[in-house]
């Protein structure tokens, strides 16, 4: 039987500095979702990577006294290291300087050009290099970037344009027929209203610098970095054995780049005759003292700093539990510490330590399983994963853990030495650990090893085999 496929992407990050918590957020969410679908037995393709062309990278490299490629090459290992520190299991890391990608960009540009959707003109407007985007006076009445709060540059250059205006009806129809295309719902209306106001053709080439993919029909121009970058999702599926994954099931992005993904991207694909992705999900921002965290604001929390402080599973858990995925969240070290100590160390860690210690001492005895709430929890967690409601999925799983702790408290197996109660508890531990594994994979592996089961959704329905249990190591040491 052929496996069902699932294709998930993160944005490709600008490698102008080491990755920070904001980048980690999208990547952890995508990783948890990818692991969930793997757990369900699907063939998953999880893509991440870096967005390496454009003025912003060229400018940053110049400042560092390096050539763009030399500058970026030194940063790529930092991204890969950060993802490995956070236990991110991506299947492919794409770089927009990969020749295979550049070739696809040129092919798509040529297709859009051949069918009359690209024409030559002149651009003059307000530009933010940090966003790599133009703004109108309406978006930026004070001539400063709404995201980066920096003065906008007045640019004027010969440019090729993409006929976005032609796609207004197509886009409105797309959103209507595919209610999930723009998720969460709260973001959808904003986009629909803006599209209804009318669409301007957008500039897709530059002549003022040359760090980019040359247009196949006019080598004097390089492709606008967003036209190039968006195509990474599709070009990765032109690699050997990856064709079957297109179209993507979900692009996970931050809310700042929703316009590019829900307006430019589907119009570009339609123009080139390529199938459209099924969903674009835009999450909120992590702020610090209510200001967006990022390199430009100078308040970015670096990943190795964070992992060094709390460990990968706490970081993963905290970011996905602390705030609904579509909303903004204000980051604080205290909140991270509280969740680590109260939820991971006290609730989860103590339960595992208690049950494994008692099971080592008294052993287990089979009894028919009437699980506390496995089936119900599984159903709810599945539904929440469908809607990328990670916080709710974690709330459910932790409600289950609370019930297990209450059960231990009520049955007092340390007094009764009741092996059947211990057997029931180990079955519950198996079930919630499997559901929790996409979030905190390495801790769940340790639990599975202690109680001798496999992390596999098929194990959810099976009663645990009796085996000798050894006391677990401490899973989470408290942070003072």
Q: Please state the closest distance from residue 295 (CB atom) to ligand MSP, in A.
A: 8
Q: Please state the closest distance from residue 328 (CB atom) to ligand MSP, in A.
A: 8
Would you say 35 or 261 has its CB closer to ligand MSP? 261
Which residues is 329 bridged to in the sheet? 286
Q: 38, 53, 131, 283: which is the annotated catalytic residue? A: 131
Cα angle, residue 319 at apex, residues 296 and 187 outer, rounded to 5°:
70
Spatial CB neighbours of 152, under 8 Å, sequence gap ≥ 6 = 126, 127, 128, 135, 140, 143, 144, 145
Would you say 36 or 260 has its CB closer to ligand MSP? 260
Q: 270, 295, 340, 380: which is the annotated catalytic residue? A: 295
Q: Is the CB of residue 119 less than 8 Å from the CB of residue 217?
A: no
Has 295 been annotated as catalytic?
A: yes
Would you say 29 or 435 has its CB closer to ligand MSP? 29
Q: Please state the closest distance from residue 19 (CB atom) to ligand MSP, in A.
A: 8
Q: Please state the closest distance from residue 338 (CB atom) to ligand MSP, in A.
A: 21
Residue nearest to ligand MSP (CB): 254
Has 237 been annotated as catalytic?
A: no
* Residue linked to tokens 């899973």: 475
Contacts 24+ apart (CB under 8 A), 429-434: 429/351, 429/352, 429/355, 429/404, 430/459, 430/460, 430/464, 431/371, 431/374, 431/377, 431/378, 431/400, 431/460, 432/374, 432/377, 432/397, 432/400, 432/401, 432/404, 434/39, 434/459, 434/460
Has 340 been annotated as catalytic?
A: no
Spatial CA neighbour of 238 closest among 31, 118, 99, 54: 99
Has 444 been annotated as catalytic?
A: no
Would you say 9 or 374 has its CB closer to ligand MSP? 9
Would you say 315 or 359 has its CB closer to ligand MSP? 315
Has 53 been annotated as catalytic?
A: no
Instruction: For residue 295, give the DSSP letter.
Output: T
Q: Which residues contribute to the site for ligand MSP (CB under 6 A)?
A: 11-14, 22-23, 25-26, 51, 229-230, 232, 253-254, 256-257, 285-286, 292-294
Has 37 been annotated as catalytic?
A: no
Pairing of strands 5-13, 43-50: parallel
Q: 221, 292, 380, 392: which is the annotated catalytic residue? A: 292
Q: Please state the closest distance from residue 357 (CB atom) to ligand MSP, in A.
A: 40
Q: 145, 237, 404, 444: which is the annotated catalytic residue? A: 145
Give the residue numbers annotated as catalytic, written as ranges: 20, 23, 128, 131, 145, 148, 292, 295
């Amino acid at each position: 039987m052929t496996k069902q496929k699932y294709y998930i992407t993160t944005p490709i990050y600008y490698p102008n500095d080491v990755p920070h918590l904001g980048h980690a957020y999208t990547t952890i969410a995508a990783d948890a979702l990818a692991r969930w679908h793997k757990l369900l037995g699907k063939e998953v393709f999880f893509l991440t990577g870096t967005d390496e062309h454009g003025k912003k990278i060229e400018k940053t490299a110049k400042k560092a006294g390096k050539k763009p490629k030399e500058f970026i090459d030194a940063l790529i290992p930092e991204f890969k290291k950060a993802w490995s520190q956070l236990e991110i299991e991506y299947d492919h890391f794409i770089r927009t300087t990969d020749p295979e990608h550049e070739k696809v960009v040129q092919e798509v540009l040529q297709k859009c050009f051949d069918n009359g959707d690209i024409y030559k003109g002149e651009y003059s407007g307000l530009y933010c290099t940090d966003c790599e985007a133009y703004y109108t006076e309406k978006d930026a009445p004070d001539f400063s970037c709404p995201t980066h709060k920096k003065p906008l540059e007045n640019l004027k250059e010969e440019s090729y344009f993409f006929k976005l205006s032609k796609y207004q009806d197509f886009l409105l129809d797309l959103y209507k027929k595919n209610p999930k295309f723009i998720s969460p719902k709260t973001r959808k209306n904003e986009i629909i209203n803006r599209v209804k106001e009318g669409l301007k053709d957008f500039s897709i080439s530059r002549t003022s610098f040359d760090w980019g993919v040359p247009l196949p029909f006019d080598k004097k121009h390089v492709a606008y970095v967003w036209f190039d970058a968006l195509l990474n999702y599709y070009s990765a599926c032109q690699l050997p054995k990856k064709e079957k994954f297109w179209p993507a099931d979900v692009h996970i992005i931050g809310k700042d780049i929703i316009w590019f993904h829900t307006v430019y991207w589907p119009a570009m694909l339609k123009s080139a005759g390529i199938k459209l992705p099924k969903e674009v999900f835009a999450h909120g921002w992590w702020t610090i003292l209510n200001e967006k965290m990022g390199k430009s604001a100078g308040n970015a929390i670096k990943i190795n700093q964070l992992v060094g402080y709390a460990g990968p599973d706490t970081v993963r858990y905290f970011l996905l539990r602390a705030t609904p995925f579509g909303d903004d969240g204000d980051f604080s070290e205290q909140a991270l510490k509280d969740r680590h100590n109260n939820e991971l160390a006290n609730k989860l860690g103590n339960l595992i330590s208690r049950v494994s210690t008692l099971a080592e001492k008294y052993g287990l005895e089979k009894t028919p399983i009437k699980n506390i709430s496995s089936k119900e929890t599984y159903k709810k967690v599945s539904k929440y994963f469908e809607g990328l409601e990670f916080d709710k999925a974690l709330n459910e799983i932790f409600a289950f853990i609370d019930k297990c702790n209450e059960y231990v408290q009520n049955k007092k197996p340390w007094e009764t030495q009741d092996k059947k109660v211990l057997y029931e508890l180990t079955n519950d531990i198996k079930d919630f650990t499997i559901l929790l594994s996409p979030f905190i994979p390495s801790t769940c592996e340790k639990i599975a090893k202690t109680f001798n089961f496999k992390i596999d959704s098929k194990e959810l329905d099976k009663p645990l085999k009796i085996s000798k249990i050894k006391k677990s190591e401490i899973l989470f040491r408290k942070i003072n």
